Structure 1
Amino acid sequence: MNLTLQKSTIQKQSVVNITGSKSESNRLLLLQALFPNLTIENISNSDDSQLMAKALKTESVVIDIHHAGTAMRFLTAYFSIQEGREVILTGSDRMKERPIKILVEALQSLGAHIEYLENEGFPPLKIKGKKLSNNKVSLQANVSSQYISALLLIATKLENGLKLTLEGEITSVPYINMTLSLLDEIGVESSFNDNVITVKPISDIQSNKTLTVESDWSSASYYYSIVALSPVGTEIALSSYKNNSLQGDSVLVDIYEHFGVTSTFNNNTVTLIKESSILQPLSLNLQNAPDIAQTIAVTCFGLGISCNLTGLHTLKIKETDRLVALKTEIEKLGGNIDITDKSLHLHESKSIKKSVPIATYNDHRMAMAFAPLALKNDIIIEHAYVVSKSYPTFWDDLISIGFEITQ
């Protein structure tokens, strides 16, 4: 379904409650499957987390995780250690184009039994669960941190734990640290020195443990963009957020100061305030937070300023090729953008074309990143409910703060 967002002015002050982080939720769901006395609160209501939870509970042989990339990677590792169980792990047509060879080869070197059912290096996978006793593996570190996290999450259940050597430049370090921090919270010993991560095995966690998931910083990014594109004095309070977040996308706090947006923390709420109008070009390396690249590029376009974003090589293997998608849609709106396979350069622009339909490419972040432009002009978001992948109540929440949205 397409939604039309009329040119809107939002309320001067608003409050929004955002669902738990998809990244934290999916890690904790896997750990809960390994350690059933773990309780999780404020779990994400995203499609991805619901698919992950369902896949971990099902007894079916064929498990279809649709577009959920994190679930595909984490479940590949999880099912490889489920002794005596055989599953076929598959997904959408796009999922069958997303590479998984690096993770599969790492698991195979630990002793896992995994076969490709269609194309070499890609899902669907046939996995026969078994006990893995090898404990040393090397992995290319510059492709996706989810491969690394998948191995770390099952490491506790490997007979001899895990010694993981990372080769090359490490991408998305905050996501690796998030995984290690969650392991630490349930009592798992680990170390991350230079390019070697070691995780000790444990048979069980002591007593019942409850962990609360922080709200999703990627979802918060759209409100940072909204405040940046609003008049000075606009405020939005978001919950539940911590000042010392494990999530890499919490760098939004520093990045959006460039646009005159300040962040104040109080009792697990962060309040965003537009303090001033700063219209300076922006240069950023987003290697550790690639998921907010679309939001930042669209913010700059909405403000009419140029930006140079680098460190974006992982965007090509997401729900769509996000660099090509950004270029196509921003140019439809009248912008001018150059891309390589790992960077984008947006040129200054003076206006935004009215009522342009934005294609979303089955990518939740395309729909949400472009929505704030309704503060500047009418815009149409095609297949708008793709947002359910990570943030099902997004459109309702925008209406609650003053956006005018019709089907």
Structure 2
Amino acid sequence: MTKHLLKSEITSGKSLKITGSKSESNRLLLLQALYPNITIENLSNSDDSQLMQKALAGDSDIIDIHHAGTAMRFLTAYYSIQEGRQIELTGSSRMKERPIEVLVEALKSLGADITYKENEGFPPLRINGTTFSKSEVELTANVSSQYISALLLIAPSLKNGLHLSLKGQLTSVPYIKMTLRLLEDIGVQTKFEGNEIWIDHLNDIGQSKTMVVESDWSSASYYYSIIALSPVGTQLKLSSYKKDSLQGDSVLSELYKVFGVVTTFSNHNIELQKTSEARLDEMVKFNLINSPDIAQTIAVTAFGLGLQCELTGLHTLKIKETDRLVALKTELEKLGAAITIDENSLRLGKSNSEVPNVAIDTYKDHRMAMAFAPLALVRDISINEAEVVSKSYPTFWEDLETLGIIVK
């Protein structure tokens, strides 16, 4: 399915309710499976969270999580401690290209029984649930935070808890802190000092506990981009958000000031307002090591405004739904951008020209589709395989139409 977006303006003053955070939802779903007294409200309606729910609720011995990378990592850890259960955990062709060896080896060092069904170091996996014999493990610190969180989430179920040592420079610290905060909220004792994390055993959480998921900041990023590309004075309200968010992508409220967007927090809502034009003579420089999922949105915003930008801390983008750095370069160049990338960074120079009516390929990556959509405020574009947004934000196109963007 291709969506044709015609150059248009949004209607100022609208309000949208954004689905719950996929990151929080998937963590809480795993904790709910371990501690059934947990009730979850404002759960994400994303494909990933629905796949996670289905996998945890089912009793099949073959579990296919399609493109859901978070589910693959979290469920690998979860099923490794389900004593007596044998399952095959598989996914899409792209999922079979996404490395998981770091997590598997860490789990095996604790006592897990996991084998590779096809290629060494990659899904699909054969997992025989067992009781872990050890409670200490080492992991390279600059790997995907999902590997680390997968270990932390099962840690309270281990009879002696877990001591995790991280070697090197930490990546995506906010996601690790999110996991620890959610553990603490259900009653788990944790400690995070330097590169060492300790998680105590928790047998049960006692009385039932209701956990409310904050709306997804990654999804909010596309509206920050829309406001940045709109005329001064344009306003938009989003719910439900809080200032002391667990999500690393909440840094958007600070970063987008450089694009002239001011955020006001009030009663679990955020109001975005374009208050000034960005300065075209400035180079936008951000290190996104703690929030790499918003890199695509920021790069497209800068391009749409005619700004130069340099984004670093992006090494984990190469193992996402697609190699996001290569995909960004390819699609921005179609639009006339001057862009260079390396293993860790992206640099956007002055545009060479304005190419009309470009069709953006999405590479089965939801964030490619949504990051490029705001360009409809400055030119006609098309988004190929537009249905991919369902992975994290199924109502995205309908919400754009609500704001006044013309979607054919």
Q: When the two structures are superposed, what TM-score results if normalisation uses the length of structure 1?
A: 0.99
Q: Secondary structure at the match of 2:191?
A: strand
Paired position in structure 2 for 1:319: 321
User: 1:310 and 2:312 equivalent?
Assistant: yes
Between 9-18 and 321-330, the greater mean CA deviation after superposition: 9-18
CA distance in 1, matches of 2:91, 2:49: 15
Supply the distance in 2 between the matched residues of 1:289 and 1:216 (Cα, whole angstroms): 13
Q: How many Å apart are 1:307 and its aligned residue?
A: 0.3
Tell me by how many angstroms 1:351 deviates. 5.2
Task: Please report the TM-score for the alignment, with normalisation by the length of structure 2.
Answer: 0.99
| Residues 187-336 of structure 1: pairs in structure 2 closer than 5 A | 187-279=187-279, 280-336=282-338
2:62 aligned residue: 62
Question: How far does residue 250 in structure 1 lie from its aligned partner after superposition?
Answer: 0.2
User: Letter of the aligned partner of 1:381 in structure 2?
Assistant: I
Q: List runs of 5+ in structure 1 lacking aligned partners.
A: none
Please name the residue that 2:389 is paired with.
Answer: 387
Q: What amino acid maps onto 2:8 in structure 1?
A: S
Which residue number in structure 1 is paired with residue 101 of structure 2? 101
Residue 24 of structure 1 corresponds to 24
Matched residues in 1 for 2:188 and 2:161: separation?
10
8 Å Cα contact 1:353-1:377 kept in structure 2? no
What is the identity, as a one-letter code, of the residue corresponding to 1:276? S
Q: CA deviation at 1:353?
A: 2.0
Residues 373 and 352 of structure 1: is their aligned pair in 2 closer, same or farther, counting only changes over 3 Å?
farther
Runs of 4+ in 1 over 3 A off after TM superposition: none
CA distance in 2, matches of 1:98, 1:399: 34
Give 1:354 deviation, angstroms: 1.7
Other-structure match for 1:397: 399
Alignment of 1:145-156 (within 5 A): 145-156=145-156
Q: Deviations over 1:172-210 (max 9, x none)?
A: 000000000000000000000010000000110020000
Contact 1:338 1:344 in 2 (8 A): yes
Name the structure 2 match of 1:112: 112
2:338·2:352 contact (CA, 8 Å) conserved in 1?
A: no
2:91 counterpart of 1:91: yes
Deviations for 1:242-285, whole angstroms, at most 9, x for unmatched residues?
Answer: 01100000000000000110000100000000000012320111
Amino acid at match of 1:30: L
Q: Give 1:139 deviation, angstroms.
A: 0.3
1:12 deviates by: 1.8
- Residue 133 (1) aligns with residue 154 (2): no
Matched with 2:75 is 75
C-alpha distance after superposition, 1:185-237 (max 9, x if no partner): 00000000010000000110020000100000000000000000000000010
Aligned to 1:144: 144
Shift of 1:14: 1.2
**Alpha-carbon shift at residue 299 of structure 1 (Å):** 0.2
SS of 1:207's partner is: coil
- Give the gaps of 5 or more residues in structure 2: none
The answer to whether the Cα contact below 8 Å between 2:145 and 2:171 also exists between their aligned partners in 1 is yes
User: 1:159 Cα deviation (Å)?
Assistant: 1.1
Equivalence for 1:15: 15
Deviation of the 1:314 alpha carbon: 0.1
Is the Cα–Cα contact under 8 Å of residues 5 and 373 in structure 2 kept in the other structure?
yes
Q: Is the 8 A contact 2:226 2:374 kept in 1?
A: yes
How far apart are 1:133 and its partner, in Å?
2.8
What does the per-residue CA deviation read over 1:55-94, in whole Å, with 9 as the maximum and x for residues that have no partner? 0011000000000000000000000000100000000000
Amino acid at match of 1:321: D
In 2, Cα distance between the equivalents of 1:65 and 1:145?
19
Q: Distance in 2 between matches of 1:127 and 1:319?
A: 23
Of all paired residues, the percent bearing the same amino acid is: 66
Render the CA deviation track for 1:381-405: whole Å, top value 9, x for unaligned: 0000100000000000000001001
User: Match for 1:348: what amino acid?
Assistant: K
How many residues are matched?
Answer: 406
Deviation of 1:355 (Å): 1.2
The residue identity in structure 2 corresponding to 1:52 is M
What RMSD over aligned residues (CA atoms) do the two structures have, in Å? 0.7
Contact 1:133 1:160 in 2 (8 A): no
Q: Does 1:37 pair with 2:22?
A: no
Greater mean deviation of Cα atoms: 342-351 or 388-397: 342-351
